[in-house]
Structure 1
Amino acid sequence: MLADQPTSPLYDVEPVNSKKRREQLYEPRKKIFPKRANGRFRKFKWLVMLITLAIYYITPWIRWDRGPFAPDQAVLVDLANRRFYFFFIEIWPQEFYYVAGLLVMAGIGLFLVTSTVGRAWCGYACPQTVWVDLFLVVERAIEGERNNRIKLDAAPWSFDKLWKRVSKHTIWLLIGVGTGGAWIFYFADAPSLLQSVATLQAPAVAYITIAILTATTYTFGGLMREQVCTYMCPWPRIQGAMLDEHSLTVTYNDWRGEPRSRHAKKAIAENKSVGDCVDCNACVVVCPMGIDIRDGQQLECITCALCIDACDDVMTRLGKEQGLISYATLKDYNANMALAMGTGQVVQPARIRDKLSGKLVDAIKLTDWRSIVRPRTVVYFIGWTAIGLAMVTALALRSPLSINVLHDRNPQYVQMRDGSISNGYDIKILNMTPEPRTVMLRIEGLEGATLTAGDQTASATAIELQLAPDKVMSLRAFVQVPAEFLPTSQTRFIVGVASTDGAVRSETETTFDVPEHK
């Protein structure tokens, strides 16, 4: 039902980051006071915010029993011992390719999300967005809703304004301290480091890190906010290459909303066409980026969809269908626009509604989530899955023992008095388990050869060694071949290390050098 005055609040507001303001190269920043939105997308943002913040702040305190010889923190970046612990997974420096694989997966995942639902990462899970949301919760709790905050900002300084501002910024700083504190707990045992920090006995680097992250969190989340996304982050400029006509993006459906009118009944009486948009600006006042989605796709839009919640609420109050602002593909938008315009050059609202029921005609294409599945996204998903499966398989099949053998370069061999030849080697054996391990060092594929290693004085084809937990054993070894078994040229053979029960094994190939026969 149409009415002269919609039963929805009207906001006389100009978008802070409107097209007109963007034309000014050095336009000073204008503060944004976003109104709190309510709806399904806002609820989803609350959920994502709670989950991500909980993961960040709680993870360092989760314990994971790895035995008496390893740290019991579930997630730990142990820089001193060059280890990365993630629950039951332990990554060593030479296995950095796992970290590289995770970074590649993160990149492909970002491409996948962007090509399907636009900058949803920016709008929901980006740390900048999450912490700005958290800071806004504090701001609203202390200073009130949008109108109250605008009034307070414009008011002269008073005791009320002073204590509210001091309270707000104090809590923001405490959040910054908590953010920096949580970060350093990923690099040392959290309970021990907390005690050291509290008693001023922690290393200087811990306090420096907390100070830097406190300053950046406070500045980016409390003071700069949308400017970080617009000017500092490169992703808004990259995302254009990720989108196509099948990507779902937050869209103002002007084929339905135009022409706008706050006085629809009067316009109809004057025989003027009227769209569904009542120009209430509800979509503008909830936008954390300060844009008007009705201006079309913009670099600043982070696809948080809060404008959808605000507009849906207005449409419901007016008794109209939701979706004036919605997730839509460019292909469907163009089809709907062609239907609304017909052969003319302007939108004709009568073309998109049934004359009897007043509802949108069936030919209108609404949000089609099936567009997510298409060749481009399938390729991204297959690539992402393949890398993930390869990493999981490699982790499952990797041996907890590793051996490296380096042949002496000078001299390459030594001829003994009895005519036998001896070669020297530097051997490193890595025990990647948190328990001591007894292993056998063996040589294979070299007939008649014997091995002497470490403090062993007797020669044998296999030597028993005791490996410390999570340590590298370095030792000198010599392989000797009697004269009657000497090969005629350089010979390759295997040096292997295995647990006493043979369940775990690692081996590598090296060479045995002999004098050249002319």
Structure 2
Amino acid sequence: MSQIPVQDVTPKSKKGQTENFDLYAKREHIYVKNYTGIFKKFRQISSFIMLLMFFGFSWLTWDGRQAVLFDLPNRQFHVFGMTFWPQDFMLLSWLLIILAFALFFFTVFAGRLWCGYACPQFVWTWIYIWIENHTEGDRNARMKLDKQKGWSSEKIRKKGLKHLLWIVFSIASAVAFVGYFTPIRELIPSFFAAELGPWEFWWIGFIAVATYGNAGWLREQVCIYMCPYARFQSVMFDQDTLIISYDEQRGENRGKRKKGSDYKAQGLGDCIDCNACVHVCPVGIDIRDGLQYECVACGACVDACDDMMERVGYPKGLVLYTTEHQLDGNKTHIMRPRLIGYFAVLCAMFIAFAYTLYSRIPLEVDILRDRGQLFSELPNGNIENVYTLKLANKEQVDHDYSISVSGIDGMEYKGADVVTIKSGELLDLPVRITVAPRYLSKANNTILFKVEALDNQSISIEEENRFIGPAPKR
């Protein structure tokens, strides 16, 4: 039996002994430098929109009710005039699939746009970095402060204020999140009066601690080690995907040079090796080392490099959004089959989902026939079946509903003809149907229940069921 050849590639020291390497490296704190640029403005706009939605949607009202409220005790999910029930779980699954395809589409088109501009982890991380920058100073000031031995009054004041603001924002974020599950206008007074229930108290505490830890302390560790997207994103990349990259042909060789000198004659490229791209990177990588899975495509390195190129009088674009094809001097194909396919599927699913929501009837009708006995024979010889109608009003207003049955001649319906169901109420309605034997041509007969709102005929459902009788005599 042949064996696969094995070669020992374990590193050896100069003395021929095996060197030991630690598999775990202690995290080095990343001091992110403040910067300006076009991509930072884009990120600030997207972050502002996300924060406005997160903190603002719970305060909106719709028909006298909180516009977005996930009422778990009553198993009702109110979203801008629509009420969803556990029976609508398929809609949620459908929505998640659409969002997944949207993520695939944007990743194929321009890499990790979600991570750099919309991911909550990074939106909150940038806020905490902003607080850090305004309480402790810019990058150099923070590094100098951390290197101080002991705790001076200035260090205690700056560190204390930073962590106080972090904690306040963490608690505010937690209260805003729980406000989507407990009405926010009831939650806020209860919070300040220290009258929270055990459920609200637990989740506000848990989310506040998680936010403080993830955005304040872990930061890029969440993206690198905890988020699965960083691991499989490269599978969706191709040579026409827009990525942030360093133009090596233009930038190398790197090196310091005097302003106005003929650096080309010295064999130098446009990169002055200032490390500005490294100092502004929130995950602490050097984009000049090539595309790395840690990169979240926030564009900070692009802004920092463009600013430095402008200062030294070189053309911008040494670090830029580009494609592998463009870097190799080839033509970039934006409209390609893979991207078109994702877009077509995404549009089809979105249209179908929107149509389903538009045509959705806010009424649930479930009819259960009595399983205890197939049928009963009344003293007058008529055949009777017993049913339980489960009716759920899934709208945010009360309705009066009419109930009718058809399908067999001579049927007699015994039950409420009109019922009032409040918003979000589930009603169990027992009904009886009797039929004279002469109208039953077979033992198993199809009947049709119709439930219709009296004030809105578009809210109408017809549901089939079976009427069981004795087998007809031959």
Match of 1:41 in 2: 39
Within the alignment, does 1:297 sit opposite 2:291 as a pair?
yes
In the TM superposition, residue 429 of structure 1 has moved relative to its aligned partner by 1.6
> Where do 5+ consecutive residues of structure 1 fail to align?
1-22, 67-71, 337-364, 457-462
Letter in structure 2 aligned against 1:281: N
Match of 1:506 among 453, 461, 464: 461
Structure-2 residue corresponding to 1:447: 409
Counterpart AA for 1:498: E
3-state DSSP class of the match of 1:186? coil
Look up the equivalent residue of 1:278 and give its one-letter code. Answer: I
| Preserved CA contact (<8 Å) 1:180 1:213 | yes
- Structure 2 CA distance for partners of 1:118 and 1:24, relative to 1, 3 Å: farther
In 1, distance between residues paired with 2:444 and 2:424?
35
Amino acid in structure 2 at the alignment position of 1:484: R
Encode CA deviations 1:110-147: one digit per residue, 9 max, x unaligned: 11111111111111111111111001111111111111
RMSD: 2.0
Report the Cα distance in structure 1 between the residues aligned to 2:168 and 2:54, rounded to whole angstroms: 16
Match of 1:174 in 2: 168
Q: Quote the Cα distance in structure 2 between the aligned partners of 1:400 and 1:254.
A: 59
How many residues are paired up? 451
Q: Please, which of 379, 399, 411 is the counterpart of residue 341 of structure 2?
A: 379
Runs of 4+ that moved beyond 6 A: 264-267
The reply to whether residue 430 of structure 1 matches residue 387 of structure 2 is no
Kindly indicate whether the alpha-carbon contact (under 8 Å) linking 2:234 and 2:293 is maintained by their aligned counterparts in 1: no
**What corresponds to 2:60 in structure 1?**
62
1:45-444 equivalences under 5 Å are: 45-66=43-64, 72-156=65-149, 157-263=151-257, 271-335=265-329, 371-444=333-406
* Partner of residue 6, structure 1: none
Task: Report if aligned partners of 1:261, 1:267 keep a CA contact under 8 Å in 2.
Answer: no
Tell me the amino acid that sits aligned with residue 281 of structure 2. Answer: C
> Which of 50-59 and 304-313 deviates more?
50-59
The residue number in structure 1 matching 2:433 is: 479
Give the direction of change, closer, same or farther, for the CA distance of 1:269–1:219 in structure 2 (3 Å limit). Answer: closer
Q: What SS is found at the alignment partner of 2:61?
A: coil
Change (3 A) 1:323 1:395: same
Paired letter, 2:114 = W
Counterpart Cα distance in 1 of 2:460 and 2:43: 49
**Structure 2 unmatched runs, 5+:** 1-20
Q: CA deviation at 1:493?
A: 1.5
168-177 vs 80-89, which moves further: 80-89
Match of 1:466 among 420, 424, 436: 420
SS of equivalent residue, structure 1 residue 478:
strand
Alpha-carbon distance between aligned partners in 1 of 2:130 and 2:412, rounded to the nearest angstrom:
73
* Contact persistence 1:180–1:210 (CA under 8 A): yes
Q: Report deviation, 1:517.
A: 4.6
Question: Normalising by structure 2, what TM-score?
Answer: 0.91
Counterparts of 2:419 and 2:50, CA distance in 1: 46
Task: Answer yes or no: is the 8 Å Cα contact 1:420–1:486 preserved in 2.
Answer: no
Percent of aligned pairs sharing the same letter: 36
The structural deviation recorded for 1:266 is 11
Letter of the 1:134 counterpart:
I
Give the whole-Å Cα distance in 2 for the aligned partners of 1:477 and 1:270. 93
Question: What amino acid is aligned across from residue 394 of structure 2 in structure 1?
Answer: M
Shift of 1:246: 0.9
For the 8 Å contact 2:82–2:396, the answer to whether it is kept is no
Equivalent residues in 2 for 1:9-24 (5 A)?
A: none
Which structure has more relative contact order (CA 8 Å, sep 6+)? It is 1
Q: What is the CA deviation profile of residues 459-505 of structure 1, one whole-angstrom value per residue up to 9, with x for unaligned ones?
A: xxxx2223233212211111111122122231112111113364431
Question: Does structure 1 retain, via aligned residues, the 8 Å contact 2:257–2:263?
Answer: no
1:494 alignment partner, one of 448, 466, 472: 448
